[in-house]
Amino acid sequence: MPTVLLTGFPGFLGSALLPRLLARTPYTQARCVVQPRHLAAARRRLSGIEADHPEMAGRTELLEGDVTAGDLDLRPTDRDRVLAEVTEVWHLAAVYDLAVGEQVARRVNIGGTARVLDLCARLPHLERLHHVSTCYVSGRFAGEFAEDALDEGQELRNHYESTKFEAELLVRKALTDGLPATVYRPGIVVGDSVTGETQKYDGPYFLATFLRRQPLVALVPRLGDPDRVRVSLVPRDFVVDAMDRLSALDASLGRTYALTDPDPPTVREVVDTFARRLGRRVVWLPLPVAPTRRLVGSVPGAEALLGLPAEALEYFASPTTYATTHTRADLAGTGLECPPFASYADRLIDFMVEHPEVGSAAMT
């Protein structure tokens, strides 16, 4: 019987991925490792999934644990059942926060991946580990970052990037040592392309918040060339659909996939699109990147006032684009393609305006 072990539930991607995995066969079972403090939210999310998909009821078990501990801190009976039953592991648990501190980032993003790899090495029926990384292991790499690239001597901007980079290095080493694995690198994940739904307002939503806090004429910092710098946005539904499709292919074993828009919008296109939907007119204000980041990060209350964390500013001058060669080749003929930004951007803004209760805090 196919049995999936999933970390990162009830997070943004894990919540959408779970029903797709269960839909593969009527016999697929899922075991979700959930921290005690997230159990209540996980139960609510699972109840919603089962209400929407009655055929999936009773096929998912929430296991109290912690990916940063040995045996994922599972109870001995749960650990023994995992070792005996699990055929597939999806590792999504991570701290997705540009401003995360080094200690937390290393404990969760690197330590959590190491503990998952330790467990995978002991799973006698394991067919595949699916590791969710990020395009931004590229750091400040200048040019197009290939899917097969990883350690190119690039400078990494923050603890989020550096720890996701190191975590992927661990997975690459395990692959070399014989562990069956596939790596997925989403770009900047935004809400659903159809409904706009999201669980967290970060990434480009910081820009939308920044615009909303300004009068009808909005001053926007020009930190790089807004007509050359690309923003690698990708809606959640494409990411989870692509992972679901690609993970079922024999050809995906050992591969790395960049899951992002192959023709991403420029900074100007993102700013103008959001501003138009919010009824703002943009005036660009040329500013140097490094001093602006230092100023915003050091002045008390500046980030809260702007709605824009200092760490996000550098991405408006990013020198990197991302090849999606493997992704497009292996999805060819399926009808699944990343939708263009212009086709769903208004839905992102509309959802944000209609749902002020959603926050920007990362799930840790």
**Domain count along the chain:** 2
Give which of 34, 181, 160 is closest to 109, Cα–Cα: 160
239 shares its domain with 110: yes
Residue 299: predicted pLDDT:
84
Residue 10: cis peptide before it, omega within 30 degrees of 0: yes
Report the CATH number at residue 56. 3.40.50.720
The last residue of a domain, from among 220, 240, 259:
259
Q: How many CB atoms lie within 10 A of CB 361?
A: 9
Q: Say if residues 186 and 239 touch (Cβ distance below 8 Å).
A: yes
Side by side, the strands of the sheet bearing 181-186 are 60-64, 29-34, 3-7, 88-91, 128-132, 181-186, 256-259
Please check whether residue 323 lies inside any domain of the structure.
no
- Alpha-carbon Rg for the chain, nearest whole angstrom, is 20
Give 244-286 pLDDT, tens digit per residue.
Answer: 999 999 999 999 999 999 999 999 999 999 999 999 999 999 9
* CA angle at 131 for the pair 128 and 132, rounded to the nearest 5°: 145
Q: What is the pLDDT of residues 53-102, one digit of tens each?
A: 999 999 999 999 999 999 999 999 999 999 999 999 999 999 988 889 99
Q: In the listed set 215, 241, 259, which residue is the last one of a domain according to the structure? A: 259
Q: Are residues 174 and 153 part of one domain?
A: yes
Check whether residue 101 and residue 148 sit in a common domain: yes
pLDDT of residue 363: 60
- Predicted TM-score of the model (pTM): 0.96
Which domain, by its residues, includes 202? 192-231+265-318+341-354
Q: How far is CA 250 from CA 29, 45, 247, 253, in A?
A: 21, 31, 8, 6
